[in-house]
Structures are given as structure tokens and as C-alpha cells.
Structure 1
């Protein structure tokens, strides 16, 4: 059956459109809800008059929305979200977030008219279309930024001197080299001590023992005794 729409019907048409629908859908839903009027041969003339009047009303409504479209086109919304790797944000910016932000600016926009295909999940700049009247659209600018504290933290990290960064990020090979240099003096000290001990040991080995000294003393006594005996005999 044919009906003329008296209101915009999603996925069907706009006000004033003549469309074909299933009889059950037309008679049980559209007509009782005053969303449409059945088109018949008897009311065709009346419907044509209604369409002309409707067209004039639509034109006036469109003109009244032109000012709103211009105002919304100048809107720029900023959302701040914490972010991680590759500028991916924690959470998202959804149609509900945009609706609430527009409400704070004095614009009452149905969430369904915010044509955001999917929630925003990355830092950056976006253009979001807003359905205002039938096929007429406005477009707002949406910017997603990092919070001030996150920006300050990044600035502090960037302000660290290069020398300090190098100390904090010493490569593993360099670290082993430094550790080796720290151990080297200790090894040299140990080697020096060992050398001194060997020299002391050598000196002790070269020195006569107590028994050797005693034997030498006895030998000297015998020598002097024999020498004295020789002198006495003479």
C-alpha cells in the first residue's frame, strides 16, 4: 500500500514522502500512530493539496534551521583523556559525551542525530556531522587532548640532562666494562700483596736457621780450639 509520511520515519523516509509499505505495517503502526496517511484514489486530490502545504512548511522550517546550522558549524569541542602507546586513549569519546558537551553550550541535540560512526579512541582532531533537518547537516570540530598533568610529566622527562639519561640507561656491555674496571685495581692490590709475601718467604729461606747458626758456632769453637792447641805445642 502507498502512504504519505506525516513525520520523519527512520529507515523509511522524510515528512511528505510517498512510500510503499506492507499493509499490516501501514494499517497497524504508521496510520494509528499518525505517522502516515494512506494514499487512495478518493483522497489523492486532498493528499496533493496536503503535500503542497507541507512543502511550504518544510521550506520555512529549513530556513529556521539555517541559523542553527551556522552556529553549530562554529562549535569546537575539546575532550581530555589519558593516553597510552600510539596515542590510544583510556576510554573513549562517544555520542553521549558530545551530546552532553553541546547541552552545556545551550544546544539540545538528540543523540541519534550525532552521526558518529564509532566512539573516538585516539588523540587527534575529528569532524563529526550533526543531522539538523531532514538531509541538512551541520559539522562540529572535536579535539581529543592529553590532560595538563600528563603533558607536564612528559616535559619533565624531556628536561632530564643527556648525561643523566646516559647514566640511567647504560648498555649492558658498557656496564660489564665499568664493573671490570672497578675490579681491576683490587686484582692489582692482591697481586702486589702476593708478590711481597713471596719476597718475604724468599728472604726467610735465604736466612740461616737456628740449627745452622748453632752448627756454625760449634765449628768456629773447634777451629779456635785447634788453633790454640797448635800454638801451645809450638
Structure 2
């Protein structure tokens, strides 16, 4: 199935890219979530204008993305875990949404939870590292401290 992306899709492409995907992925995931539109002749003509606008924004965003990455490097982020056992093992796990809330509480910039990659489930108290994709060309590592609530 040939589609034109309208949103950034990890490991697939950016808005305005024309991609070939399997029918089920396009019909059941990309199209219902408005992340893509069917590639018709009329829609393909609009791709050039979408990509021009994207490039104009990307030049401005790259400098801003590096600035945000610098802000994140300076932050000390503490995530309060809901509950933990005596051995420091959590009864749940820390999610990307929890990390985003903790960054904002620490005075950091507003992030999209989909831009935060938690490497594996964080299920213990201590220091962990997550990856934040701020821009297609800018990613940064963020150290978070997971602490139990008293």
C-alpha cells in the first residue's frame, strides 16, 4: 500500500514522505490514527509543498532542539514511584509519561511522551538512563532517579 505520511512515524519516515507499507499496517494503524493518507495523484502533488514547509521549520527547530538538549543535560530528574518493596523492586513500572511529568516538575521543557524511549521496563529504584528524541538529528540521554514515595 502506497501512503503519504502526515506525521513523524519512528523507523518509517517524516511528514510528506511517500512510503510503501503492508496493507494491514496502513489500514489498521496509520490511516485510523491520521498518520498517513492514501497516495493519489492529487495528494502526491501536495507533497512538495508539505516538504518545503517542513524544511523551513526544521532549520529553525534544529537550533531550538540543541538548546532543549542542553537544558535536559542540566536537569536532575526524580521520578516518584507509586510503591516499592523492601528490596527496592517496584510494584509497577516507570513509563515514558511518568518521565515527561517528572521533567516538567523539575522545570524542564514540555516533551512528547512518544519522544521518550524507556530502554526496558524500569522496575527498580535507582538511577536509570532514557533516550529523548527531540529532533530527527538531535537525541540526548537523560539520567533519571527513581525514588519510592514515602
TM > 0.5 between the two?
yes
TM-aligned CA distance change 1:2 to 1:59, over 3 Å: farther
Higher RCO structure, 1 or 2 (CA under 8 Å, sep 6+): 2
Count of aligned pairs: 143
- Give 1:52 shift: 3.7
Of 65-74 and 115-124, more deviation after overlay is shown by: 115-124
What TM-score do you get using the length of structure 1 for normalisation? 0.46
Match of 2:39 in 1: 38
List per-residue Cα deviations over 1:52-104 (Å, max 9, x = no partner): 4432322222222221121112222235676634xx33435512332221121
Cα distance between partner residues in 2 of 1:46 and 1:80: 46
TM-aligned CA distance change 1:135 to 1:83, over 3 Å: farther
Match of 2:117, SS state, is: coil
Q: Which has the higher strand share?
A: 2
TM-aligned CA distance change 1:74 to 1:43, over 3 Å: same
Is 1:100 matched with 2:101?
A: yes
TM-aligned CA distance change 1:52 to 1:100, over 3 Å: closer
Match of 1:8 in 2: 8
Structure with larger Rg: 1
Cα distance between partner residues in 2 of 1:146 and 1:44: 52
Q: Which runs of 5+ in 2 are unaligned?
A: none
Is 1:84 matched with 2:54?
A: no
